[in-house]
Amino acid sequence: MITASLNGRNLHLHLGGIEEDFIIEPLGGRDGKALTDEFLRISIGALPAEGMEPLLQRAVGAEVYERVQTELSLNESQDILLPAFYWQTVLGMHGVNAYISGGEGLTGAKKALELLALTLGILPTQTAPSGVLETLIQSQVPTLPTARPTTTRDRLPANKRQAPKKPKPAKPQA
């Protein structure tokens, strides 16, 4: 279980069972935007997934990242790195709160990602494209078929259809 608070300009993340808080310093606005853009490119597969680890390291800073890797399990480290990442985006504390209230872990990350998509205006209902963000949303939404069957045979389930009958060959005339 994690708790988060802002002390001055810094984010303090407290993980149950760990005495000392993890203190995250804010990135500048351009760095936060670059972090968000890179995350979205990784999410849609435009950049390799291996880029996620350095991305999270930039979000928390090298010193905190080393502490997380040394002291915490993989599951616990996720509960520090992901809220810190969302805090560095345009979401700020709203991203951290979405992660925590979403149940932490993958469900919390999903809730924070949905909030990020909503905040950036990249929901599937959007009519104007927005580059990488639109591609991310479209890659997550299944494409439904638009064509309707035109014949009775086409409307039948596949296992009920019979192959169309071939015309009988004409008898040769003498």
Q: Where do the structural domains in the chain lie, given as residue ranges? A: 2-140
Q: pLDDT digit string (tens) for 111-143?
A: 998 888 888 877 655 455 556 666 666 666 555
Decide: residue 172, CB within 10 A, 0-12 exposed, 13-18 middle, 19+ buried: exposed
CB distance 27 to 112 below 8 Å: no
Among residues 40, 79, 43, 73, the alpha carbon closest in space to that of 60 is found at 79
- pLDDT tens-digit profile of 7-28? 999 999 999 999 999 999 999 8
Q: Please, are residues 37 and 135 in contact by the beta-carbon 8 Å criterion? A: no
